[in-house]
Chains A and B, each alone.
Chain A
Amino acid sequence: MSRLAAGGSIDRRQPLAFTFDGKSYQGFAGDTLASALIANDVRLVGRSFKYHRPRGILTAGAEEPNALVTLRSGARAEPNSKATTVELYDGLEAASQNRWPSLGFDMMAVNGLLSPIFVAGFYYKTFMWPRRFWERLYEPLIRRAAGLGALSGLPDPDSYDRDHAFCDLLVIGAGPAGLMAALTAGRAGARVLIVEEDFALGGRLLAERHEIDGQPAADWVAAVAAELASLPTVRVLKRTTLFGGYDSCTFGAVEKVADHLVTPAAGQPRQRLWKIAAKRTILATGAVERPISFGGNDRPGVMQASAVEAYVNRFATAPGKRIAIFALTASGLRLARALKAAGIEVPAIVTPDGTGDGSTIAGMVTATHGKTLRSIEVSGRRIEADILAMAGGWNPAIGIASHLGARPVWDDAIHAFVLKTPPAGMALAGAAAGHFSLGEAIDDGLREAQAALADLGMPATVGARPATSDDPAGVGTLWSVPGSKGKAFVDFQHDVTVDDIALAEREGFRSVEHLKRYTTLGMATDQGKAGQVNGQALLAAATATAMGEKGTVIARPPDRPVAIGAFAGAHTAAHFRPVRLTAGHAWAAENGASFVDTGQWKRAQWFTRPGESDWLESVTREARAVRTGVGICDVSTLGKIEVAGPDAATLLDRLYTNMMSTLPVGKARYGLMLREDGFVFDDGTAARLADDRYVISTTTANAARVMQHVDYCRHVLWPELDAQAVSVTEQWAQVAVAGPNARVLMQRLLPDMDLSNEAFPFMASAQCRWRDGPARLFRLSFSGELAYEIAVPADRGAALMRALTEAGRSFGVTPYGTEALGVLRIEKGHPAGNELNGQTTAHDLGMGRMLSARKDFIGRALAGRAALTDPMRPTLVGLKPVRPGERVRGGAHLLPLGAAARAEHDQGYVTSACFSPVVDGWIALGLLANGPSRIGERVRAVSPVRGTDVEVEVCSPIFFDPEGVRLRG
């Protein structure tokens, strides 16, 4: 065990048991998985992505490239979890990844021996030929060899929640700058939201030993946390990672609600996605320490100095017995004091120029030795050390600001990219602003919070600035170490080395963006937060360009990997999107309906009766029942829009191709709408309820689009028209009653109305009463039969279905679904969604005569384009197989007889096909070039998808009752 006897912010009274690769260990509450592994002397935790090199824990934060583990097992397994950010819990189960058969002995480590050929661009150069090998051989092999953890492949048993927050001031990061800012703004009564990724507040104060206001920093943090908790306008979100900045100062964050529990409690989500809107934001995300690119810098035991400091001070562990330091920064030198205070031997402190106290060695680490680190080489001299802490400088964590378009610039004073001009509404504080000392962090937090308050017109209460201990923060640079032996890594997770950068430069990839793509520098799950700048600096040096000129890549969201489940939230499986149910849904389900998704709606597709084993059997029975008796069909999903006002008629005349202003009150008319480009938009009916009021219907699919179109026309195109319109789709449940017995049935339902052909003829409409409530009756027919549509308020929809069933029981009223509806309309040659597909014109659908020449309407001018009136356009026809019993398939291509089934012979396609009970065979509608003049001609209907090739005869699209006698009967 390497646990220190005292100190740290772990709770020694709460031991926690956990396993890593099946072996049992113990840690304490307050540990991360990484700190607990270190306390248990586990040095080797993973294998690298490409070379399968053994790797140990490098960092103590979210920038960790090495210690990626699979957390939990079974369906709850979560690959690529960073051990450095996983909060330890009792029963935690973790496994290493990307190794076979074991972490200690990994067969794929042979890749490391082959590394001379596995250089940057290796895949591009090597797997070019033969081309066909790529998909079948190369890619599967590469994917197996390289890569990270694997998904379980099982459905996620957990749920994900969502929340929203609004605040005056969003503080990102709860280190000294963030805490100071939140406190200042919270005391002034501002609505403050402070988000912290860690499970503890304090940021660097957790890891470093400082004094604030004469007390240990941890006490100051505790006092601030207590005060923040007491302020009614302040909300603190721990375990919450802010991962993206978006337009208008909105942000995305994910809160780990139950990630630190074995199993979430019932109903408890694993994670919660936050969408945050902030009037002002302070980015206090700190900085990420850089590694140094010397030979063997990836050996287990080589760690970031800041990480070693965190493991010693915060987690009370000794990562090693002899910890050497290689530092370019003042913070690195500070580590020596912490180590000595913890009783850990420091065999060497190395700085390139000998900066430091008298014991510092002027020189560089050029090599490391041991399976896990046993010694380092400094200027040819071996020094025994089991840990090397490297302090290579600091990268301000400015990714979130970059999401909002701010471009990083190089600062020669601190050798880092910083933001000189943060995005509007955002300020940077502390290390994120490139101000690395504690005093500056406190100052920044105070000042920026006061500035935000002033901006928002809120008076700031002046509090004393806490006194802080002295904190030197100098930073040096050393981009490469001359005389290095062995690989020197720049990007640990993607195995990008100093040599790869040089190779990329030699091969012409000289911009940072090209370098990134060619070498995959910074493209791993850690997004190169630690080492990417080192690679860019090497490129700058190789091209003799200043860093400021070479620049860096721009971070895009997410700043950290986020589980897709968090974005999906509760919207998975059956709840993937909202479902719309008609008022008659439950009734339909009781009557054996199978449902089909039509947009968000569930529509009854057919109603299976006892003894029926095949959907076609049910559909045929339903269609036959409508032709011979009476059927009822729920058509509530069709869009219904009520248009009212003195100019309602004028508006409809402009929306429809045909005239609606001449429609008398009490009548309905079929109507066609075009898009601006002249193609058919939608069809439906318009019924005039009063001089100044119509109700129009749309197809189910286009209901929302037509409503938008009507509103656009009213508000934007013709605001001078006094016409109002609103969707009433939800208000009315509507049922089609069709068949020779429809009148008898309707008369039973509405005994007080005269439904004779004279009083209520085809295309009549009326507002009436049913059971002492409002109702609407239309004599419309989609089936070609004597038919009505009755509408009642939706809360009576189920009662209407029951009343119709009851009233029609004696003559076998039959509910029918969308499939039978389809059969009936195909038999009548009525276009529906398959034909109104956005690519057809009125002429294509045989409705050219509906384009009124007496008025203007939307789409008129462009419908007259030569290309849209070309007779060679595929036009609606009927199709029937030449050999009875053969089945025509929807989507089949129409080709001349004898022509090869190739695209150049394509003359159209089958849009709709069905088995017609009245024809007693398969029939179809299709769009065929110059169709109407080819009646009687035979063509081939070829479906390469279904492997069918059927000879069909071109015929009229109306297969049944072409004179329309029945619907007027």
Chain B
Amino acid sequence: MVGALPAAGGGLAVSERGDLGIATIMARASSTAALAQRVAERFGIALIDGPILSGAGAVRFAGTGPGSWLSFCEGADPFWACSMAVQLDGVASVFDQSSGYAVLRLGGAEAMPMLQSGAFIDLHADAFPVGAVAVTVIAHVGAILIRVGEAQFDVAVFRSFAGSFWHWLATSAAARGVPLHRFSEDG
């Protein structure tokens, strides 16, 4: 599976999360509460309107702005966003972004220092705990950071920037003398 660390531990393990359905969810006017209720009904998730990851199962909502989320679904089919739009009809506008982002999972002891070297937001566990979300910039590339574990982060960048982002990742890892382990989706 994704993000497994090398046997020796340490270093930085990077894998691409290619199986994700992604959608931008934006609450309709004055409908944030109604949306939260709908999400609770349909997904059993307490949706938080803030820079926090809501949900722990296959479907999750990462708060990216007031009344705005990036929703992720593992193992989604190509029409997942359409079905999401049906589920949230009347309370939110849903926009398919499944192909719009490249999502990398960074794990290992060096994941946090690496991302910290790129992002000017405090990633210390006290300031950016597990579940925290940030919309920020790394190496001039817009990035959405989600702390999914103590030493595990998901980073979403617009897919057209993936090459430049990888260049940053590779050169920064080299600058730190950090061995970079790249994993494919199927291990």
Contacts and interface: CB of A to CB of B under 8 A. Distances in A.
Interface string A547-582: 000000000000000000000001100010111111
B28 A645 contact: yes
Contacts of A238: none
Contacts of B164: 575, 578-580
A163 B26 contact: no
A708 interface: no
B96 A601 contact: no
B123 to A, nearest CB: 8
Nearest to B117: A163
A10 B180 CA distance: 38
Contacts of A272: 175
Nearest to A579: B164
A265 B177 CA distance: 9
Interface in B82-129: 82, 92-93, 95-101, 116-120, 122, 124, 127
A216 B130 CA distance: 47
Contacts of B168: 570
B161 A796 contact: no
A165 B127 CA distance: 13
A642 interface: yes
Contact of B28 (A265, A601, A722, A794): A722
B99 A164 contact: no
Interface in A753-797: 772-774, 793-796
A644 to B, nearest CB: 4
Contacts of A275: 120
A162 interface: yes
Contact of B97 (A579, A731, A772): A731
A773 B116 CA distance: 38
Contact of A166 (B28, B127, B174): B127
Contacts of B161: 578-580
B99 A159 contact: no
B141 interface: yes
Nearest to A796: B99
A772 B78 CA distance: 8
B29 A731 contact: no
* Most interface-central of A268, A277, A720, A724 (chain B CB within 10 A): A724
B167 interface: yes
A544 interface: no
A191 interface: yes
A721 B28 CA distance: 10
Chain B residues touching A, majority SS: mixed
A583 B160 CA distance: 7
Given A191-B124, A724-B93, A267 B177 contact: yes
B140 interface: yes
Contact of B95 (A163, A571, A728): A728
A732 interface: yes
Contacts of A730: 97, 99-101, 158-160
B15 interface: no
B184 interface: no
A268 B139 contact: no
A774 to B, nearest CB: 6
Nearest to A647: B29
Contacts of A642: 95
B116 A163 contact: yes
B57 interface: no
Interface string B59-79: 000000000000000000011
9 contacts: A277-B122, A580-B158, A581-B160, A642-B95, A726-B24, A726-B26, A728-B100, A730-B160, A774-B78
Given A162-B117, A720-B29, A730-B99, 14 more contacts: A159-B171, A571-B140, A575-B164, A579-B161, A582-B160, A644-B95, A645-B28, A646-B28, A693-B93, A721-B29, A728-B100, A730-B97, A731-B99, A796-B99
The 10 closest A-B pairs by CB, nearest first: A267-B174, A793-B99, A722-B29, A580-B160, A731-B100, A644-B93, A730-B100, A578-B164, A724-B26, A724-B93
